[in-house]
């Protein structure tokens, strides 16, 4: 028999958060939080649509804690927090306890704590009454013997026998009047995606990666730029790792550099590594700087310590790196290609003539046993490589490198 953890203490803020879970937080950041809370949150189930991963929510179900977290499938940011097992939770609103093993969350008690509001909505098919405040909704089951309700406009709601409904579900959300239409908030200062303006030259941030509050001019990372320029623009990386130069990593070198999008994340030699120690090493091996919170890796030349390649991660569900990076929202300007583009559309946008077919792919299955979701394919064009999920045609990563037109 599995022992359940003690009830999780959470403060509830309408339109913002429940405990450690804040609306708008990227999926990867939430997963890191869950890893750090393993003793309190022992079970996490991830659900998503395998056939159309961009069409339906990504869900993290914390069954032992009575919490369900829903993420927008495209932005991969937290858009809805659902609480469904109130025996597993102790809840507070403005330091007032409204649910615990000692306090029953009734309609009457919640109405007194949260204050007056317009009458809620009764769903006869589900036998549920929903009381909605801005950014938070409370759902109460209505017993059959009390249907139809004679006093829907009377608040607080009570039954003819003098009892009052008990909370069944709670939703915290933002961006809409109703929880079903919740929209994941953007971070403050978000000004747009990472742009590949000219293939073969570099990438451009339309915001300052070092300050989400900043609206400064765009930040450019160009090929050949020294490490100090990248450090000034992006700050210190979260990790540094050596490039895996084993040609057997993919079994073929037909797409030059195709293995870099894999090596950047799977061979982390120094998590949060020391920059000075790396620069003073004196070796000529190329190395990556990993920026997990930006969804990118930057490959430097070990000899010149200059930018050679940039890998942008789509954090595709089913990929072996899923949740390790925040999704890098990028566009290839002039091509109509974005991080959410499918391979069929990408190859049409990239082909030089109407008759030209797609390039020959390099298939990578990571040894066959490490990824239960099947291989990915790398398709190389001058200055850019697309890593595509075989099953869905979604992008897993894009690698850009220096190329003269």
pLDDT for the residue numbered 249: 35
Whether residue 268 has pLDDT greater than 70: no
- pLDDT band at residue 273, thresholds of 50, 70 and 90? very low
Q: State the CB neighbour count (10 A cutoff) for residue 279.
A: 14
Edge-to-edge strands of the sheet including 89-93?
21-22, 17-18, 8-13, 89-93, 96-99
Check residue 84 and give its pLDDT: 97
Rounded-to-integer distance, Cα 320 and Cα 282, Å? 32
From 284, 312, 272, 17, select the one nearest 135 (Cα to Cα): 17
Look at the chain and count its residues. 405
Tokens of 216: 């400064």
Q: What's the rounded Cα separation, in Å, for the pair 171 and 138?
A: 7
Q: For residue 244, report the phi and psi dihedrals to the nearest 5 degrees.
A: -80, 115
As a whole number, mean pLDDT of residues 24-49 equals: 95
State the average pLDDT over residues 369-394. 86
Does the bond joining 109 to the residue before it have cis omega, within 30 degrees of 0?
no
Summarised one tens digit per residue, pLDDT across range 340-361 is 999 999 999 998 777 777 889 9
Give pLDDT tens digits for 277-311: 334 444 468 999 999 999 999 999 999 999 999 99
- CA angle, 93 as apex, 91 and 97 as ends, to 5°? 50
Residues 143-177 have pLDDT tens digits of 888 887 766 667 778 787 878 899 999 999 999 99
CB contact at 8 A, 233 and 207: no
Question: How much of the chain exceeds pLDDT 90, in percent?
Answer: 65
Rounded to whole angstroms, the Cα distance separating 13 from 239 reads 34
State yes or no: pLDDT of 276 exceeds 70. Answer: no
Between 272 and 208, where is the model more confident?
A: 208
- Among the listed residues 41, 82, 77, 43, the one whose alpha carbon sits nearest the alpha carbon of residue 58: 77
Token pair 């765009």 in the structure block, residue:
218
Residues 172, 135 contacting (CB under 8 angstroms): yes
Please report the pLDDT score of residue 116 as a whole number.
Answer: 83
CA–CA dist 356, 361 (Å, integer): 15
Measured between alpha carbons, how far apart are the two ends of the chain, in Å?
Answer: 64
| Position 188 confidence tier, pLDDT thresholds 50, 70, 90 | confident
User: Within a 13 Å sphere around the CA of 96, how many CA atoms are in the beta-carbon half?
Assistant: 11
| Long-range contacts from 321-326, C-beta under 8 angstroms, 24+ separation | 321/265, 321/266, 321/396, 323/27, 323/28, 323/31, 324/28, 324/265, 324/292, 325/28, 325/265, 325/292, 325/295, 325/296, 326/26, 326/27, 326/28, 326/29, 326/76, 326/292, 326/293, 326/294, 326/295
Can you give the pLDDT at residue 255? 52
Give the pLDDT band (50/70/90) at residue 245.
very low
Predicted local distance difference test score (pLDDT) of residue 274: 37
Place of tokens 């609103």: 93
pLDDT recorded at residue 148: 76
């Amino acid at each position: 028999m599995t022992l359940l953890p003690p009830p999780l203490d959470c403060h509830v803020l309408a339109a913002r958060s429940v405990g450690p879970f804040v609306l708008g937080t990227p999926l990867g950041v939430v997963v890191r939080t869950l890893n750090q809370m393993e003793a309190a949150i022992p079970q996490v189930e991830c659900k998503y649509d395998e056939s159309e991963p961009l069409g339906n929510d990504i869900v993290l179900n914390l069954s032992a804690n009575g919490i369900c977290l829903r993420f927008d499938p495209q932005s991969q940011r937290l858009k809805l927090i659902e609480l469904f097992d109130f025996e597993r939770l102790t809840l507070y609103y403005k330091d007032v306890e409204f649910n615990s093993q000692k306090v029953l969350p009734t309609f009457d008690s919640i109405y007194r704590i949260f204050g007056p509001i317009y009458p809620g909505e009764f769903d006869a098919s589900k036998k549920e009454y929903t009381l909605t405040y801005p950014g938070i909704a409370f759902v109460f089951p209505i017993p059959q013997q009390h249907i139809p309700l004679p006093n829907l406009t009377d608040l607080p709601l009570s039954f003819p026998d003098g009892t009052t409904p008990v909370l069944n579900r709670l939703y915290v959300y933002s961006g809409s009047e109703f929880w079903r239409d919740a929209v994941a908030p953007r971070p403050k200062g978000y000004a747009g995606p990472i742009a590949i303006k000219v293939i073969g030259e570099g990438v451009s941030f339309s915001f300052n990666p070092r300050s989400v509050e900043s609206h400064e001019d765009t930040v450019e990372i160009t090929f050949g730029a020294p490490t100090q320029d990248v450090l000034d623009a992006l700050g210190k990386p979260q990790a540094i790792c050596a490039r895996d130069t084993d040609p057997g990593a993919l079994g073929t070198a037909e797409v030059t550099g195709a293995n870099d999008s894999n090596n950047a994340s799977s061979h982390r030699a120094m998590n949060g590594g020391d920059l000075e120690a790396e620069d003073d090493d004196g070796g000529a091996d190329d190395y990556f700087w990993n920026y997990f919170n930006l969804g990118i890796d930057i490959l430097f030349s070990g000899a010149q310590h200059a930018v050679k390649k940039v890998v942008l991660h789509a954090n595709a569900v089913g990929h072996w790196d899923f949740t390790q990076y925040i999704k890098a929202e990028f566009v290839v300007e002039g091509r109509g290609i974005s991080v959410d583009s499918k391979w069929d559309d990408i190859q049409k946008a990239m082909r030089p003539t109407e008759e030209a077919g797609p390039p020959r792919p390099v298939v990578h299955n990571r040894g066959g046993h490490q990824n239960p979701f099947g291989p990915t394919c790398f398709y190389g064009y001058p200055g850019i490589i697309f890593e595509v999920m075989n099953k869905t045609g979604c992008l897993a990563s894009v690698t850009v490198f220096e190329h003269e037109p």
